[in-house]
Amino acid sequence: MQDPLVGLTVVVVLAVGCMVLAARLRIPAIVPLLIAGVLAGPSVADLVDPNELLGDLLSPFVSLAVGVILFEGALGLRREELEADTPPVVVRLLTLGALITWAVGFGGAVLLLDLPGGIALLVGAILIVSGPTVVLPLLEFVHPKPAVGRVLRWEGILIDPVGAIVAALVFAGLSSSGGFEPGGFLLSITVGVAIGGAGGAVLWLMLRRGTMSSQLASVATLGVVVGVTGAADLVRDDAGLVAAIVTGLVMANQRTVPLTTILEFKETLGLLLIGLLFILLSALVVPSQVVDLGLAGIGFVALLVLVARPLGVLLSARGSSLSWRERGLVAWMAPRGIIAASTASTFSLKLVSDHVEGAEKIVPVVFLVIACTVGLYAFTAPPLARALGVSVE
């Protein structure tokens, strides 16, 4: 049994240390965080065992932490930055692009990885997501032109609940006799929007008088975001992601409360949570299972990178004013992050315990995609942006 004090100490020290190291090396923090988490996990150094460390609290902690991170990301989504082309392109990426990724992921998982149909459908759904934990840090390194940055930022934040809810519905169909319920997607979105809107209104009422200190405002913000995320998830699985984003959108687009009021919350807590989550979730990975995927696994990643994403962008950006160079960069930016890792880990545990065939491959496949896409885009997107002439540097 792992000593909780030792485990928590190692997680925090590794998270902070990796982020400091990444800043010194001028690389995205996600790269050393993934490596450190895997090496510290029970399959290698056995310094961190998330299941022993947090037990039944692991999944709720991940859900609430992700809600806080998505809220932080949504604070940067202001309607005044939207231009005529941005909303249609983003909407098509969230719908048509998501469907293409799901379909290609499903087909690749069946043909290349020999996964059963249901598990392949779940893996494809999980890999719809991207997320602010990987997109926003990469944008800071790439420094793309505003039009490209807007599309990638809005898509990266809004795609998370889309993929997570679709994956949750597929998971529900696999783990019960109820089957897949398409209407559940709209229900989850509705619950999340309603609770998130109410949460945003409550937070605005709390902060609008300006009588709180910045420290107290940060604490109040955290309390509201956690409350909103937890309440929505209790009503409907994964509705908390939508609720957190909607709360952030409400605060980002009101004009009474200056966002500097919660600046400390946005810049400190969110960064720490990203580090903790990456260490905890990557520690669940068994490296030998990832290696066993072999060339088929690499081929699967290549299918997502070279077919699914470019095809989705090609169809989603049609008719827009984005140049072919700008579309090229958008097509080369689809990393996976925390949401993919958390949903894969959560669903895999339940399906493996239910002895569902192929469930043990969910985590290795998803983490291979996370590691490959993060590494690939982190080191190739900046020079590609400069070569295409779509970098502001």
**Confidence (pLDDT) at 162:** 85
Give 169-229 as a DSSP string.
Answer: HHHHHHHSSS---THHHHHHHHHHHHHHHHHHHHHHHHHTT--S-HHHHHHHHHHHHHHHH
Residue of 72, 48, 47 lying closest to 58 (CA atoms): 48
Give 56-81 as a DSSP string.
Answer: GGHHHHHHHHHHHHHHHHHTT--GGG
Phi, psi of 172 (to 5 degrees): -60, -40
Residues 246, 306: contact at Cβ < 8 Å?
no
**Confidence (pLDDT) at 125:** 93
**Confidence (pLDDT) at 2:** 66
Please give the average pLDDT of every successive group of 10 residues along the chain, which has 393 residues.
81 92 82 90 88 84 86 80 78 94 95 92 92 80 87 88 85 66 76 93 86 78 92 86 90 81 67 87 88 93 96 91 91 88 84 85 92 89 90 75
Instruction: State the Cα–Cα distance between residues 368 and 374, nearest whole angstrom.
Output: 10
Per the structure block, which two tokens stand in for 17? 């240390």
What would you report as the CA-atom Rg of the chain, rounded to the nearest whole angstrom?
A: 20
Query: Which residue has 């097509």 as its token pair?
Result: 331
Residue of 186, 185, 199 lying closest to 246 (CA atoms): 199
Instruction: State the Cα–Cα distance between residues 280 and 215, nearest whole angstrom.
Output: 28
**Distances from the Cα of 163 to the Cαs of 21, 341, 367, in angstroms?**
31, 12, 16
Which residue type occupies 168?
Answer: A
- Structural domains of the chain sorted by starting position, each given as residue range(s) with its CATH number in brackets: 57-388 (1.20.1530.20)
**Confidence (pLDDT) at 200:** 92
Residues 199, 225: contact at Cβ < 8 Å?
yes
**Confidence (pLDDT) at 325:** 93
**Confidence (pLDDT) at 135:** 85
Instruction: State the Cα–Cα distance between residues 111 and 30, nearest whole angstrom.
Output: 30
Helix axes 239-252, 146-175, angle to 10 degrees: 160
**Confidence (pLDDT) at 228:** 94
**Confidence (pLDDT) at 176:** 60
**Distances from the Cα of 392 to the Cαs of 23, 73, 97, 146, 323, in angstroms?**
21, 22, 27, 9, 15
Residues 146, 183: contact at Cβ < 8 Å?
no
